[in-house]
Amino acid sequence: ILNVEQSPQSLHVQEGDSTNFTCSFPSSNFYALHWYRWETAKSPEALFVMTLNGDEKKKGRISATLNTKEGYSYLYIKGSQPEDSATYLCAPRRGYQKVTFGIGTKLQVIP
Amino acid sequence: DSGVTQTPKHLITATGQRVTLRCSPRSGDLSVYWYQQSLDQGLQFLIQYYNGEERAKGNILERFSAQQFPDLHSELNLSSLELGDSALYFCASSVEDRGSTDTQYFGPGTRLTVL
């Protein structure tokens, strides 16, 4: 089992604020890291797949960076909007081992 | 809409009963995953199938079983149900089985309530 930690567990920000949160995972034998966005009453949606140390991915106002040597990834949201309110999950993958999702960071953007 | 379908949407049953949850993956996807999400818990991986064969197993109870059929749809069977089995059950699919880089597409989930 991969030990995955996400912090903070929940976050409240004002509309327009930028924010970031962390996913920590064991750095040994790392293969890939997935970020998912999960809105209430919906199902998780893939955001990014990251594989290389130093990788940076961007989708609109959301971006993510990866540090495989120290075992963490940051997700950034620039200028948060109410529609960004969701739980953000990370899932490090190591080959064909069973999938382990973090507990998630629940983001609430206050208008 | 991810293209993954799950039926039924809601299921209410009694303790000791058996139910079957069904999942149809996206067209062309060969891999199917099952997850359980209980109250205040994260997504717990249950099992993965690829092209009809079991590929990885998570914390799936012995009372639970799954299979993937030749047409690639999958069923999750839950038997001798207990109150604690009440949860949202998600199915996800991915194109291949490259392991680490497969992006999963999630279905809408089946809400199971055991009374």
* Residue A26 banded pLDDT, cuts 50, 70, 90: confident
- DSSP code of residue A95: T
Q: In the block, which residue shows the tokens 């001798």?
A: B80
Query: A94-98, A101-105, B33-37: which range is least confident on average?
Result: A94-98
Distance CA B4, CA B93 (A): 7
Q: Mean pLDDT, chain B, as a whole number?
A: 93
A111 vs A31: which has the higher pLDDT? A111
Most B CBs within 10 A among A4, A47, A96, hence the mutation to make, goes to A96
> What is the arithmetic mean of pLDDT over A17-24?
96
For the beta sheet containing A19-24, the strands, ordered from the edge strand earlier in sequence to the opposite edge, are A5-7, A19-24, A72-77, A62-67, A56-59
How many other C-beta atoms lie within 10 A of the C-beta of residue B61? 14
Contact in structure between A78 and B84 (CB atoms under 8 Å) = no
pLDDT recorded at residue B98: 63
pLDDT recorded at residue B56: 86
- Among B33, B56, B92, whose Cβ lies nearest the Cβ of A96? B56
Most confident segment among A51-60, B47-56, B106-115: B106-115
> What is the arithmetic mean of pLDDT over A70-94?
94
A1 vs A32: which has the higher pLDDT? A32
Burial class (CB in 10 A: 0-12, 13-18, 19+), A18: exposed
Chain B residues in contact with A49 by the CB 8 A cut-off are: 101, 103
Contact in structure between B113 and B17 (CB atoms under 8 Å) = no
pLDDT in tens, A30-62: 788 999 999 998 999 999 999 888 889 999 999
> What is the arithmetic mean of pLDDT over A102-109?
94
Q: How many CB pairs under 8 A join A and B?
A: 60
pLDDT of A1 higher than 90 = no
DSSP B47-95: EEEETTEEEEE-S--TTEEEEE-TTS-EEEEE-S--GGG-EEEEEEEES
Chain centroid to Cα B41, Å, comes to 16
pLDDT of B60 higher than 60 = yes
Chain B residues in contact with A97 by the CB 8 A cut-off are: 56
pLDDT recorded at residue B86: 96
| Both structure tokens of A3 | 């030990």
State the smallest CA–CA distance between residue A48 and chain B in angstroms.
9
Q: Of all residues in chain A, what percent carry a pLDDT higher than 90?
A: 68
Q: Apex CA B19: angle with CA B13 and CA B24, to 5°?
A: 125
